[in-house]
Amino acid sequence: METTNFKRIKHGFFPEIINRERRISSPQTFSRHFSSSQVIVEKIDLYGKLNGHEGCVNTVEFNFNGDILVSGSDDKHVMLWNWATKTKTLCYASGHLDNIFQARIMPLTDDKRIITSSADGQVRLGEILENGQVKTRRLGKHQGRVHSLAVEPGSPHIFFSCGEDGLVQHYDLRCGSASKLFHCFSFKETNSPPLNIRLNAIIIDPRNPNYFAIGGSDEYARVYDIRRYRSDGSNVSDEPVNLFCPRHLLHSNHVHITGLAYSKASELLVSYNDELIYLFQKNMGLGPSPLSLESETQLSNEEPQVYAGHRNSRTVKGVSFFGPKDEYVMSGSDCGHIFIWRKKDAKLVRVMVGDRRIVNHLEPHPCMPFLATCGFDKDVKLWAPMAGDAPALPKNLKKITESNRQNREDQSPATLAPDVIMHVVRLQRRQMFGYVERRYSKSDLESDEEDGDEDYISGLANDITFSEEYPGENFGDC
């Protein structure tokens, strides 16, 4: 192993060092090649832990510069960290009534504005004042959990939310309220009414922020163009501009999407519950509707790259790219491991224990080969290239991946007639959410103009009330 690594360094990295010293290679080029080196990725190991939350941590994110990390937890508190020194710089009560699922630092705000979403359906803003106190207020509301927020790249004002009620909302902090864009419904194949799609993920294409993608309780990753929607909430159409789905999952009734990620080249990464991870190129889209697909079109489409070995069943897991040019794909797993694949050929290059139970979210550093992760444990874990002899892949890797595969197959649905399956699914969804899905009128889509409550909270919260819930058992983020 040592000999192999030495050969890789000698032939792949020493020339880069020489070119940098001779000023043939720029510092930026050297940094990119260093961060994307497989030798470096194989050496990633635990750098430290950030302790402070009193519930499982559901979300972590670096700020634009990468020097600050924000986290949110079941304890309903938001914490800011200087991750390099492993110190907490701020903690405040978010004002949420249930577990925090997402926390995002708005860019170009001097890290003073933080948006959050929660199992209570609220989307809230925390503003750090000059005296160190934090003022929080509600920006919008969903009728169900809000798992995902998407911030427009480089914008200090614009972001989106999606929730289990199927609603997609658009926010402009200069206005202070949400605009309801549309509700997402299943594609109508029979005379029965379409089903509400419970949304788990929303992301914005970094190359063209006019496009955003959503995923939820069916097999399709839907892409939309924000230019087709009015800001006054008078939109009633939920028709996307493109769809992405693996060929074998088309018209499937037993899978749903938990995580999405866009690469810098607009490739779309899709993680399915109790299925696998797929990478779609832009030319692999199915068009705006699966109902009008012709078999020739389906057969002519190139197959997406597939990433396997993990298991994504018990929680709403994210998926991420890693590396300066997104050279790697990474995901957490129900087995408590972190999986990192080489993007181009889906080869596993690093597998490591990341949590005692489940790893939910992995956040890459914006500039360096570091990452932060969270899961059922009450801490945030930091990972960086470390000196040591630990193998990149554990000796029992085959046992781990085979166990994940077997557990996934054991949970696969029994073969039933399609009409029976659809009937059972409708009954389960109606019982779970207590309402009958329906089309929404224009009045239902009007903006939520309630101001919401405002809280003035000490910059360092000491009196904390903790939740004893474990929403992982009912498919929460944690």
**Residue 211 belongs to a domain:** yes
CA 70 to chain centre: 15
Residue found under tokens 């012709």: 294
**Residue 367 belongs to a domain:** yes
Residues 6+ apart with CB under 8 A from 33: 13, 16, 25
Quote the CA–CA distance of 83 and 127 in Å, as a whole number.
Answer: 21
Residues 6+ apart with CB under 8 A from 189: 251, 291
The per-residue pLDDT for 105 is: 98
The per-residue pLDDT for 235 is: 65
Domain count, the chain: 1
**Residue 360 belongs to a domain:** yes
Asked if residues 299 and 276 have their Cβ atoms less than 8 Å apart, the reply is: no
The model's pTM is 0.83
**Residue 440 belongs to a domain:** no
Other beta carbons less than 10 A from residue 296's beta carbon: 8
pLDDT in tens, the chain (478 residues): 444 444 444 445 556 556 656 666 556 555 556 677 899 999 999 999 999 999 999 999 999 999 999 999 999 999 999 999 999 999 999 999 999 999 999 999 999 999 999 999 999 999 999 999 999 999 999 999 999 999 999 999 999 999 999 999 999 999 878 999 999 999 876 677 889 999 999 999 999 999 999 999 999 999 999 999 876 666 667 899 999 999 999 988 889 999 999 999 999 999 999 999 999 999 999 999 887 765 544 545 689 999 999 999 999 999 999 999 999 999 999 999 999 999 999 999 999 999 999 999 999 999 999 999 999 999 999 999 999 888 999 999 999 999 999 998 887 654 444 454 444 445 555 544 443 343 334 444 344 444 444 454 444 433 333 333 333 344 456 6
The per-residue pLDDT for 177 is: 81
CA angle, 90 as apex, 87 and 94 as ends, to 5°?
Answer: 135
**Residue 420 belongs to a domain:** no
Asked if residues 301 and 243 have their Cβ atoms less than 8 Å apart, the reply is: no
C-alpha distance from residue 118 to each of 96, 103, 433 (Å): 7, 9, 17
* Closest residue by Cα to residue 364 from 321, 332, 325: 321
Residues 6+ apart with CB under 8 A from 477: 58, 59, 99, 101, 147, 315, 316, 360, 361, 471
* Closest residue by Cα to residue 269 from 287, 246, 250, 291: 246
Any idea what the CATH number is for the domain that residue 320 is in? 2.130.10.10
**Residue 143 belongs to a domain:** yes
* Closest residue by Cα to residue 376 from 104, 161, 56: 56
C-alpha distance from residue 366 to each of 130, 326, 350, 370 (Å): 27, 11, 20, 9
The per-residue pLDDT for 434 is: 46
**Residue 434 belongs to a domain:** no
Which domain range does residue 264 map to?
Answer: 45-292+299-407
Quote the CA–CA distance of 424 and 186 in Å, as a whole number.
Answer: 16
**Residue 445 belongs to a domain:** no
